[in-house]
Structure 1
């Protein structure tokens, strides 16, 4: 999609306000002075996550989040560019896997995944302050691997922090829509999937090609005219309850560097000022770029959140686009997918015509003959409609398998790591 266009600046939800709103009490834990303020915050949350909003918001002010992000995100690129044997060793030592074949040197994304467990012993005020022990220097004999000594601990620490933020938001949304479905569905699952993701620059792929070449030729890295997709990640809906993402980090490698493999690259600001996450605005039938506060967590509604909330929250069609004419710039992020338990049953019959919008292409509505609306936008026609992937009474496991199958043409089996 075109980079030029509308930019959506996400609503900035302060973590202190989220903490106050997610108190275990059913009523707001407030004095008469701040009740109106917190009520206005709740209204803004629903405005942004509901049917009339973008389906996303940003959470800022989470203690220690920026420091954890700064330590963990640069590891994504370094992992992606390791030789296969060293990377395999590091991932195994830290309990990580991948959702893509990492031997494919033409891949544009390298995700490193782990199942994260909810820690029932930590309360909301302490989960982002934990200090996990450092792993022993198990790579002391391999100089270029010592920087990964604390990879697993950082992954879990940041992941736990993001899980708790998502759980608190689910609790707040439950209060607003009068129920406990969202929070309970997350707690019943006992786990979430974390992914540390490196979005390759074109230069990264040249590095991989050169490092895997069997020909003993001099490595040169010259500017090349590429004919690649302008998307790092294709258009899709997330199918969990919430997706929690870090504000992305961008890394640039000098174009004239003769050996970029020996150069870690340097963090740089977004060239456009936005995240390169883009969403479809169904009301305007147009694409908008997402701009988030620096160091924030971005929280996005998934299809299960839409279904369990009976349409009071809205899943958003989205993709990740590449910066134009910046072949040496990569993008790093960390994502946690909060989802129901695999045996959670999903119902589609709670949706009514008043919840639908004829131009969003989401196709949630079933009539008496089990027929659904069809997408009207050319863009959403590329995405398998929900009614073709979800049947009433399906478990979340069945829904996720069918969704993966229709998106990617695979068996639909999910990674368990």
Structure 2
């Protein structure tokens, strides 16, 4: 299926609630404050980002805002050449210490917990892959993730749908287009829906996260608010030589009159290799035809750079 959920994680529900309820407050900060929280040099991969990333259509994504940070390390490296080469990973976190001081602690606490649980998932991925490929060809995902300084959290806020933005919402990918994550594992919280910053049930059961299975079947993902979901990214497919497959997914916006003014808040943790981790692209894994490979080998930082060139107009 490409996705699983983990339940009964001590402390998770409270940490999820604490962080997700901050997303509407963050998005409603004055524009001049949010501009101070942007980092163009990192291709908007630290701090606040809105309207910078391209959608499936090639248009800029105005439907959601994001806040990016490394929940494990505020300063992943002090090496100036690394910071210059890979600013989207080697830069430093930006926190709204004056305008929303509680964000930092809530972001780090939830991100750390989801990372720890994700390492257990990585261990079982390794056990599964070890049964399918030769030992000398296998790279240990758990060890790679433990050693990495590249992990990135993303607090997402989907702006309230207005009448003008709901006209084309029949598409299953109306809130977030079909894509695969380029990291190793992505941890996901179940989203919170709200109206005027007050939590409400989602009025449209057909809305939410959808994935595509290996057989091409489209499946709506359903998991509890006290569960953490994990899905597979492209780097895991590369490291496992295609034995594990990246999970295509999208998000469908709620429809109907009751969806007017509805907000959606969620959090994703992208567990990723270090920027200098070498990736050998096997012929069994066909992803991103636009990405030119030099002898079939790129570092994770180089791979990310090529993808950012596709999805973002600005360069550092």
Structure 1 segment 102-117 matched on structure 2, within 5 A: 107-117=62-72
Do structure 1's residue 98 and structure 2's residue 45 form an aligned pair?
Answer: no
Residue of structure 2 aligned with 1:394, choices 290, 293, 298? 298
Q: Is the 8 A contact 1:274 1:291 kept in 2?
A: no
Change (3 A) 1:175 1:76: same
Change (3 A) 1:348 1:293: same
Deviation at 1:411, TM superposition (A): 5.8
Unpaired segments ≥5 residues, structure 2:
40-45, 53-59, 75-96, 131-137
Structure possessing the higher relative contact order (Cα contacts under 8 Å, 6 or more residues apart): 2
Deviation at 1:63, TM superposition (A): 0.9
**What's the secondary structure of 2:112's corresponding residue?**
helix
Structure 1 segment 167-206 matched on structure 2, within 5 A: 167-178=119-130, 181-203=140-162
* Cα distance in 1, alignment partners of residues 190 and 5 from structure 2: 9
**What's the secondary structure of 2:304's corresponding residue?**
helix
Change (3 A) 1:58 1:347: same
Structure 2 length normalisation: TM-score? 0.75
Deviation at 1:166, TM superposition (A): 1.1
1:156 matched to which residue of 2?
A: 108
Q: What does the per-residue CA deviation read over 1:70-89, in whole Å, with 9 as the maximum and x for residues that have no partner?
A: 11102111211221134456
Structure 1 segment 7-406 matched on structure 2, within 5 A: 54-88=1-35, 97-101=47-51, 107-117=62-72, 148-178=100-130, 181-203=140-162, 226-228=166-168, 230=171, 231-253=174-196, 264=197, 266-273=198-205, 276-283=208-215, 285-325=216-256, 326-349=259-282, 351=284, 364=285, 385-389=287-291, 391=293, 392-406=296-310
* Cα distance in 2, alignment partners of residues 101 and 238 from structure 1: 19
Change (3 A) 1:403 1:90: closer
The higher radius of gyration belongs to: 1
* Cα distance in 1, alignment partners of residues 36 and 289 from structure 2: 42
2:135 matched to which residue of 1?
A: none
Unpaired segments ≥5 residues, structure 1:
1-53, 120-137, 140-144, 204-222, 254-263, 352-363, 366-384
Q: Is the 8 A contact 1:243 1:299 kept in 2?
A: yes
